[in-house]
Structures are given as structure tokens and as C-alpha cells.
Chain A
Amino acid sequence: MSSAAIELAGVRKSFGDKIIVDELSFSVARGECFGLLGPNGAGKSTIARMLLGMISPDAGKITVLNEPVPARARVARVRIGVVPQFDNLELEFTVRENLLVFGRYFGMSARKVETIVPSLLAFARLESKADVRVAHLSGGMKRRLTLARALINDPHLLVMDEPTTGLDPHARHLIWERLRVLLARGKTILLTTHFMEEAERLCDRLCVLESGRKIAEGKPDALIDEHIGCDVIEIYGGDPHEFVEPLRPYARHIEVSGETLFCYAPYPEQVRVQLRGRAGLRILQRPPNLEDVFLRLTGREMEK
């Protein structure tokens, strides 16, 4: 039995003459949280749907939980839980009914579902909402119910397409905390996100995508070390292009994005000296993050 939960080799997909996924290969080990990070349109959702067998690749090989996909995707899906990008809960049904109906799709009897509903509701922190119609739940609660629903078949692998997009920070942190509990239980998670913070906090490893191509892959801190490796000074409040030349000798690298100048500075004090006396500038010195990696690799910011 292969140890990888997911294996992609040379996968290509285009719609018409638009290339969506370009020669993509990666592998996700069991028990790992793997992130697909990239802006909208990078091909993240297409990849997630290909893993479920809902889209067939034009070329390449996909194996999920030892099953060739899409040929035996149905068999693989028995052990996969899915959190889709857009909620597709049954709004007219109660929380409990949603779980019951979904359990039936996996061939579970009503009695079997009833026995696990309490633990799923406890996990999703929805104990008091069991008989409330989903239409009356908040966005965060719906997302947690979608997560509980994805666990109904006790999956080995969770595929999550932007699990926290559209949630407020409080709701987002609650989901992250729940996902860490799942990882501690040994589940494998593949998640797509365009939130750098999400990727940094949750993912053991990630793959940075741009226009369907892999532009970097590795552990978040290793990627940050490799591509940035020093503090970042953000400068805004003036014309950023004006500072590029004066700062260049003191910076490892400089990026201008919008009205902000990013200066990767091994010796930040020297940069600050250069900027002393300039009125109206706002200067922020901070540790590097994945956002910087993305900016460094592509020369542009992630869409927020």
C-alpha cells in the first residue's frame, strides 16, 4: 500500500484553448495538511474537482487513496469528505435532517446516522441547533455544518475548497481550530485557499500556484526562508517608485505593488536611516510571510 494519500503526475487540463492546469505534479502524505495556494483563477478549484473525479484531466495520472481517478473515483469518494467552495446545504431542512439525508447518500441507515449525529454536532459546536432550519443559521454555522457533513462517512481524506472564504475572523479561527483537531486525529487534509495566514497556520506543506503552474512547493517556513529570509519593510504614503533607487544598495530585493514598496532588508536599520526625515511616510517592519513569497515569485500581490 502506497503511503501517499494523493498523487498527481504531469496533470494537464484546458478548457478550449485556455490552460487551467499545466503539468502539475505533487504528492500528499497520509496525515498531512497540504495547501494549494494561489489567487482566484490559479486552477485550485479545478484541481480539487479533478481529485474527486468530477473533472477528467486531459493528460497525466491521478491517484487518490490508492484508487486511480477518475476511473475509480466513486470508490475513492467513499473515504473522502468534501467541503465545497460554496455552501450546498439543504436550506429547508434542519441541521439534523441535513446529516441524515447526506448519510443516506453513503448508504447509511437512519439509525446509524442517529448514533453519530451527537458527536458530529458537538464537533461542529452546533449541539443547540440540531432542529433549527439551516436557512436560519449564520454563515459560520453553515460552514461548520458543511464540515460536520463532510465527516459523516468518517473519511480518511478531506478535500476543502476555500473552507473559510467569506467568513468573519472569529468564525474563521473557529474553523481553523476544528481543522487542527481533525489533523490531530490523523486525517489527511487538502485545502485550497487564497489566505496566506490560513496556509501558514494550517499547512504542513503547500504548493503555490499561478495560472495552473506550480511556482513553489514546500513547508511554509522553508519557503519563506528560501525566498525571503530577512525582515520586510513596507513603505507607503508617498510615491513608492521614488525610493527604489536610494534603497537599492541596502536591500536584498525591492518590489513595488500598488502604492506600497516592499523592501527585503537583511539590515533594516540602514533602510530606516535612508528614510529618516521624509514626512508623511508610513513604515512597517515585520517578519516575512507567505504573501511576500508570492509577491517575490510573481511580482504581484494575491487578491484579497
Chain B
Amino acid sequence: MGESYAALMPANPYNWIAVWRRNFLAWRKVALASVLGNLADPITNLFGLGFGLGLIVGRVDGTSYIAFLAAGMVATSAMTSATFETMYATFARMDAKRTWEAILSTQLTLGDVVLGELVWAASKSVLAGTAIGIVAATLGYASWASILYAMPMVALTGLVFASLAMVVISLAPSYDYFVFYQTLILTPMVFLCGAIFPMSQLPSSFQQVAGFLPLAHSVDLIRPAMLERAASGGAAFHVGALCMYAVLPFFVSTALFRRRLLR
């Protein structure tokens, strides 16, 4: 059992790149639409929420609301783009399109495939985060350099949520089940984790719960980076927590995928 589980792990440090490149090639064919979508979404949100709410709210946490929100949106969009890439595109490749089946008949292991998919989903997060960053920097709500500083945290956030979504798709019988994850886990997280308003607005019991959620750690890393402040609570602590959230689900989902696919 233990030995055969070990055989599922990535066979070497670079096999996953072939999987990533397969997804990149597929993405390149629809790149223009994908980039436009990634830009249009934050522009609408920043204008709609930022100007609309921003006028009422005024300054938050020592900065303009729109700058506060832009940083929160970089974190949430890293979360949603990695999640949706995994729940829809990766699920299709694992299930209906039989892409994984084809890959698993080569010298790649299940771990290689999962890792390649995770890094790919994180890449989509970086793309989405960059798009918002460009919009925010163009409008003067963040410096161009700060966008660059935020990108490693965006990538880590993408890995975390791809890894969590991987567990969801390893269990879900069909697309219909994803809505539970979305409405019961992701949407509450957006409101609990300080993406749209400061966590200090929440009752203290909610604040304690939120402190454990991965998006809270992402927001606590990305917002200070974009506003060029020091991370509250220590950056290393947040990075460590996110690494746990990225790595543990990887092992869980790989075991679950074996049960689902290799039997």
C-alpha cells in the first residue's frame, strides 16, 4: 500500500512540465479571449464597486477604498481563477476528455499529472492577478513595482486553491457538485477574509475562524505588498500556512484520484 502510493508520486522534478506545456498550448489557441476576459472583469469590478462604494465608504485602513479593494481583488481573483480552472478545465481533462488517461499510459505518474495541473492553474492565477494589477497601477492605486512584489504571493495563492479544488474534483461525481464548494466555502471566504472590507469589522468569533482560512493569509500577504507596508503578523507565518494548504491537499487528492481512476 505505502510502496504503491509512493509510486504515484512525481517521478522526477521536471516531468510535470510536459503537462503544463500541454495546457499552455491549449490556452494559446484561446489566449486573446482569455486575456480580454481577465482584463474586463477587474475593470468592471473596480469601477462598479470602487467608485460606487468608494464614494460612500471613503478611506479604509489608512488608504482609499478603491486601493484597498484592488488589493483584495488580486487575492480573490487568484483564488477564483485557480479554482475554476481546476473545477472545470482540469475536471474535463480528468473525466470526459480522457486527457489524463492518455497521459497516464506514458511514463508519467499520477503525481506528475496533478503537479502539472496545479502549476498550470497557479499560472492562470498569476495571469488574472497581473491583469488586475495592471488596471490598478494604470489608475494609480498601486505602484508598478508593488505589483511585481505581489506576484509570488499570487502564485502561491493559486497553488493553494488549485490544490484544494483538486480534492473537490477528485470526489465530485459531476460538475453539479461544484456549486456546493463555491457557495458554501468560497463565497463566504471572500467576505470573511478581509478581501472587501477589513476583518476588524467582523464579530471577534468570526475573526478567529477567518484567521484559519487560506484566503485570509493571502490577503494579509498581498495587500501589504501592494500598499507597500509590512505584513501584519509576519510574512513567514502566512507563507508557511499557505504552503501547508498547498501541499497537504496535493497528497490527499492524489490518493483520491488513484481510488477514482486507477482501479
Establish whether residues B26 and A92, one from each chain, have CB atoms under 8 Å apart when the complex forms. Answer: yes
On whether A88 and B7 interact (CB within 8 A), knowing A77-B107, A101-B21, the answer reads: no
A79 to B108, CA, bound (A): 13
Main secondary structure of the interface of A (DSSP, over half): loop
Q: How large is the interface on A (under 10, 10 to 19, 20 to 34, 35 or more residues)?
A: 20 to 34
- With a CB–CB cut-off of 8 A, which chain A residues contact B21? 101, 104
A71 to B18, CA, bound (A): 23
- Nearest residue (CB) in B for A15 is B263
Instruction: Among B11, B26, B262, point to the contact of A90 (Cβ < 8 A).
Output: B26
Nearest Cβ on chain A to B89's Cβ, whole angstroms: 12
Instruction: Among B7, B29, B106, B263, point to the contact of A92 (Cβ < 8 A).
Output: B29
A31 to B107, CA, bound (A): 22
- Nearest residue (CB) in B for A55 is B263
Instruction: Among B19, B25, B98, B261, point to the contact of A97 (Cβ < 8 A).
Output: B25
What 0/1 readout, one digit per residue, does chain B (104-142) give for beta carbons within 8 Å of chain A? 111111000000000000000000000000000000000
Establish whether residues B25 and A88, one from each chain, have CB atoms under 8 Å apart when the complex forms. Answer: no
- Is B97 part of the contact surface with A, judged by Cβ < 8 Å? yes
Nearest Cβ on chain B to A67's Cβ, whole angstroms: 12
Q: How large is the interface on B (under 10, 10 to 19, 20 to 34, 35 or more residues)?
A: 20 to 34
- With a CB–CB cut-off of 8 A, which chain B residues contact A86? 98
- Is B101 part of the contact surface with A, judged by Cβ < 8 Å? yes
- With a CB–CB cut-off of 8 A, which chain B residues contact A153? 106
- With a CB–CB cut-off of 8 A, which chain B residues contact A97? 25
- Nearest residue (CB) in B for A73 is B7
Total number of A-B contacts with CB less than 8 angstroms?
Answer: 69
Establish whether residues B104 and A54, one from each chain, have CB atoms under 8 Å apart when the complex forms. Answer: yes
A70 to B4, CA, bound (A): 8
- Is B99 part of the contact surface with A, judged by Cβ < 8 Å? yes
8 A Cβ contacts from A82-106 to B: 82, 84, 86, 88-93, 97, 101-102, 104-106
A15 to B262, CA, bound (A): 12
- Is B61 part of the contact surface with A, judged by Cβ < 8 Å? no
- Is B176 part of the contact surface with A, judged by Cβ < 8 Å? no
A90 to B19, CA, bound (A): 13
- With a CB–CB cut-off of 8 A, which chain A residues contact B15? 107
- With a CB–CB cut-off of 8 A, which chain A residues contact B59? none
Contacts A71-B3, A88-B101, A105-B108 aside, 19 further interface pairs with beta carbons under 8 A come to: A15-B263, A55-B262, A56-B4, A70-B7, A73-B7, A75-B107, A77-B105, A77-B106, A84-B102, A84-B105, A88-B98, A89-B102, A93-B25, A93-B26, A97-B25, A104-B18, A104-B21, A105-B19, A107-B18
16 pairs from A and B in contact (CB 8 Å cutoff): A54-B262, A71-B3, A71-B4, A71-B7, A74-B7, A74-B11, A75-B107, A77-B105, A77-B106, A84-B101, A88-B102, A101-B22, A104-B21, A105-B19, A105-B108, A106-B107
Residues of B within 8 A of A (CB): 3-4, 7, 11, 15, 18-19, 21-22, 25-26, 29, 97-99, 101-109, 261-263
